[in-house]
């Protein structure tokens, strides 16, 4: 009937490289190991240069498809990114339905996979007569929170931050209310309501694929792997991290040359992800803290923003103004012997894989976390937004691969605390402990991804399901 015989999977990434990268990795595994072809859908609103370069570097058996632009100009200008993505997904349902119907004329489409903010597009899959699956690019703790959120919300009488007891999800590390996912911090906000809605919608998935692995959150994994009526089966298929390092090819090689000249495990990598920014005051504290720690560092600096705007670079990964202009007077000169500052993206995986890199001041974005685990680099946890604060709890109290930073009452981390933790990580006993633990997780992660390993098996089961479903 003119359709290609290979099983074809359609994947939808909501905005943000942190969503696109792991989904593309999943697509790569499916085409290289399991004989699939794939379509990778993205939103027009995030067609940044970084994203374009990334998409055009994918194998030819993965076809990128940029969905039509939809207007969001009727939304309040201060809408949270979670709201923007969720509304955009809903408005794209008709376009996705037609795209799926069209793809079905050419391919044997076996399923539709949407990521965490795209659950409404399950409706498009159903309208096109396809089964819908959820890809959850972060951890089991966050998945568990969202799956339980409708029920938690029904019983909640205050905001999370006002809870006297930490939130205890089955098998998960207890999370103080203040550290819960940022869009859940104010129940009156639209983004809160969207998250409750997504939690409900997740239950309509045939299965949930999660970019985590058993050993990093063992108890949660045990519980979520068990069959539970009314909840889709959960498959931890991670860690999926970017392979082939296709982004950032051109830039950033100077920092690798610089790392080549540094002793083993001596450099602290400092970065807040693709979109994270600090206030000017916080940038100063960090600069002075790094300087007085006496340690070597590689710092990805971005121009500062207001305290409540830590995700302002999220939609376009390029820093807006010259960030170096905001560093303290004379800082670069005083630290030039042992510090390097860069203003562009760096090839992070290569940095983490470099033998000179011995620690990571990390925003606890989940992709970065997995990348550091895969390379056995211990963390100082400096979360900013999204689910980063609860990830920091997971990493410091649960997995024990990170040292937490204490904040002042107004949320600022002071230079003395930074100096203390940097020294502790790079030369103290605490640092040795987290380094040992992250080395164990590195082993476990590698085992899981091997033929016959837990993550590899989990994906094979999903693939079986897809192949059968198409027959
Ligand atoms: N990244 C990079 N270079 C940079 C900053 C980020 O390659 O200078 C990559 C990083 O390796 C990771 C992703 O961008 O794969 C960031 O994803 P994460 O989930 O950690 O955080 P987000 O950027 O979504 O907040």
Tell me the DSSP string of 198-215: HHHHHTTSS-EEES--GG
To the query of whether residue 354 is one of the catalytic residues in this protein, the response is no
Instruction: Tell me the CA distances in angstroms from 346 to 255, 256, 272, 311, 341, one per residue in order.
Output: 8, 9, 12, 18, 11
Residue range 371-399: mean pLDDT, rounded:
97
**Radius of gyration for the alpha carbons in the chain, expressed in angstroms and rounded:** 22
**Is the Cβ atom of 387 under 6 angstroms away from ligand 1?**
no
Helices (H), 34-92: 49-56, 81-91
Residue range 387-393: mean pLDDT, rounded:
97
The residue whose CB lies within 8 Å of the most ligand 1 atoms, and thus the one to mutate among 367, 379, 381, 388, is 367
Residue 469 has pLDDT above 90, yes or no: no
Q: Whose CA is nearest to atom 15 of ligand 1?
A: 367
Assign residue 23 a region (left: φ > 0; alpha: ψ between -120 and 50; beta: otherwise).
alpha
Dist CA 37 CA 6 (whole Å):
7
To the query of whether residue 19 is one of the catalytic residues in this protein, the response is yes
Dist CA 219 CA 143 (whole Å):
14
**Is the Cβ atom of 390 under 6 angstroms away from ligand 1?**
no
Q: Which two tokens stand for residue 384?
A: 């900013």
**Is the Cβ atom of 83 under 6 angstroms away from ligand 1?**
no
pLDDT at residue 245 in the model: 60
Instruction: Tell me the CA distances in angstroms from 316 to 41, 136, 394, 400, one per residue in order.
Output: 18, 22, 28, 32
- Ligand 1 midpoint to CA 229 (Å): 36
**Is the Cβ atom of 366 under 6 angstroms away from ligand 1?**
yes
Share of the chain above pLDDT 90, in %: 89
The string over 86-124, giving b where at least 16 C-beta atoms fall within 10 Å of a residue's C-beta and e elsewhere, is bbbbbebbebbbebbeebbeebbbbbbbbbbbbbbbbbb
**Is the Cβ atom of 367 under 6 angstroms away from ligand 1?**
yes
Residue range 375-391: mean pLDDT, rounded:
97
Q: Whose CA is nearest to atom 2 of ligand 1?
A: 348
**Is the Cβ atom of 17 under 6 angstroms away from ligand 1?**
yes
Q: Whose CA is nearest to atom 4 of ligand 1?
A: 345
pLDDT at residue 311 in the model: 62
Residue 367 has pLDDT above 80, yes or no: yes
At 317, is the pLDDT very low, low, confident or very high (cuts 50, 70, 90)?
very low
Ligand 1 atom with minimal separation from the 384 CA: 25
Residue range 165-183: mean pLDDT, rounded:
98
Kindly report the backbone phi and psi dihedral angles of residue 296, in degrees, each rounded to the nearest multiple of 5, phi listed first: -75, 145
Give per-residue pLDDT as tens, 23-46: 999 999 999 999 999 999 999 987
**Which residues are CB-neighbours of 379 under 8 A, at least 6 positions away?**
359, 360, 361, 362, 364, 369, 372, 395, 401, 402, 403, 434, 438
**Which residues are CB-neighbours of 60 under 8 A, at least 6 positions away?**
none
**Is the Cβ atom of 39 under 6 angstroms away from ligand 1?**
no
Q: Which range has the worst mean pLDDT, 25-39, 168-182, 312-326?
A: 312-326
- Ligand 1 midpoint to CA 207 (Å): 26
Q: Which two tokens stand for residue 341?
A: 């500052």
What letter would DSSP give residue 229? T
Q: Whose CA is nearest to atom 7 of ligand 1?
A: 348
- Ligand 1 midpoint to CA 357 (Å): 17
pLDDT at residue 433 in the model: 98
Specify the residue for token string 């990493």: 395
Residue 455 has pLDDT above 60, yes or no: yes
Give per-residue pLDDT as tens, 209-264: 999 999 999 999 999 999 999 999 999 999 999 987 655 554 678 999 999 999 99
Angle between helix axes 454-470 and 429-449 (nearest 10 degrees) is 30
As for the ipTM of the complex, it is 0.98
pLDDT at residue 308 in the model: 61
- Ligand 1 midpoint to CA 16 (Å): 9
Residue 54 has pLDDT above 80, yes or no: yes
**Choice among 8, 78, 107, 115 that is catalytic:** 115
Q: How many residues appear in the chain?
A: 471
3-class secondary-structure state, position 51: helix
Dist CA 229 CA 135 (whole Å):
20
- Ligand 1 midpoint to CA 361 (Å): 13
**Is the Cβ atom of 368 under 6 angstroms away from ligand 1?**
yes
At 275, is the pLDDT very low, low, confident or very high (cuts 50, 70, 90)?
confident
pLDDT at residue 231 in the model: 98
Residue range 41-55: mean pLDDT, rounded:
90
- Ligand 1 midpoint to CA 109 (Å): 31
3-class secondary-structure state, position 228: coil
Ligand 1 atom with minimal separation from the 242 CA: 15
**Is the Cβ atom of 302 under 6 angstroms away from ligand 1?**
no
The residue whose CB lies within 8 Å of the most ligand 1 atoms, and thus the one to mutate among 51, 54, 272, 273, is 273
């Amino acid at each position: 009937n003119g359709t290609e015989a290979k099983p074809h999977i359609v994947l939808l990434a909501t905005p943000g490289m942190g969503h696109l990268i792991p989904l593309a990795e999943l697509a790569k595994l499916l085409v290289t190991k399991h004989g699939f072809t794939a379509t990778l859908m993205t939103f027009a609103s995030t067609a940044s240069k970084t994203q374009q370069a990334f998409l055009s570097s994918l194998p030819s058996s993965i076809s990128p498809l940029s969905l039509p632009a939809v207007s969001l100009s009727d939304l309040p200008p201060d809408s949270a990114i979670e709201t923007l993505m969720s509304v955009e997904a809903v408005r794209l349902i008709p376009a996705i339905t037609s795209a799926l119907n069209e793809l079905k004329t050419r391919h044997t489409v076996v399923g539709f996979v949407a990521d965490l903010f795209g659950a409404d597009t399950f409706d498009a899959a159903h309208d096109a007569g396809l089964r819908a699956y959820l890809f959850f690019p972060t951890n089991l703790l966050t998945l568990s929170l969202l799956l339980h959120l409708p029920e938690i919300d029904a019983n909640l009488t205050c905001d999370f931050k006002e809870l006297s007891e930490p939130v205890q999800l089955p098998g998960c590390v207890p999370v103080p209310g203040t550290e819960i996912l940022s869009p859940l911090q104010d129940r009156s906000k639209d983004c809160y309501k969207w998250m409750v809605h997504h939690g409900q919608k997740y239950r309509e998935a045939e299965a949930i694929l999660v970019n985590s692995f058993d050993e990093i959150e063992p108890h949660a994994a045990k519980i979520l792997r068990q069959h539970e009526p009314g909840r889709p089966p959960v498959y931890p298929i991670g860690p999926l991290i970017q392979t082939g390092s296709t982004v950032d090819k051109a830039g950033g090689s100077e920092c690798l040359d610089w790392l080549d000249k540094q002793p083993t495990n001596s450099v602290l990598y400092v970065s807040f992800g693709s979109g994270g920014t600090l206030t000017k005051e916080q940038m100063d504290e960090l600069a002075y803290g790094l300087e007085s720690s006496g340690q070597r560092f590689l710092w990805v600096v971005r121009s500062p923003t207001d305290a409540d705007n830590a995700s302002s670079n999220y939609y376009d990964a390029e820093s807006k103004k010259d960030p170096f202009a905001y560093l303290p007077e004379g800082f670069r000169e005083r630290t030039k012997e042992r510090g390097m500052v860069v203003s562009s993206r760096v090839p992070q995986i290569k940095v983490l894989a470099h033998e000179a890199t011995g620690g990571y001041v990390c925003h606890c974005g989940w992709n970065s976390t997995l990348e550091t685990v895969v390379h056995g680099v211990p963390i100082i946890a400096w979360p900013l937004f999204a689910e980063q604060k609860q990830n920091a709890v997971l990493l410091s109290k649960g997995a024990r691969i990170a040292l937490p930073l204490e904040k002042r009452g107004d949320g600022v981390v002071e230079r003395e605390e930074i100096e203390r933790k940097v020294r502790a990580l790079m030369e103290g006993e605490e640092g040795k402990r987290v380094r040992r633990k992250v080395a164990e997780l590195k082993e476990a992660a590698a085992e899981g991804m091997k033929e016959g390993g837990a993550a590899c098996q989990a994906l094979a089961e999903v693939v079986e399901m897809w192949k059968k479903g198409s027959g």
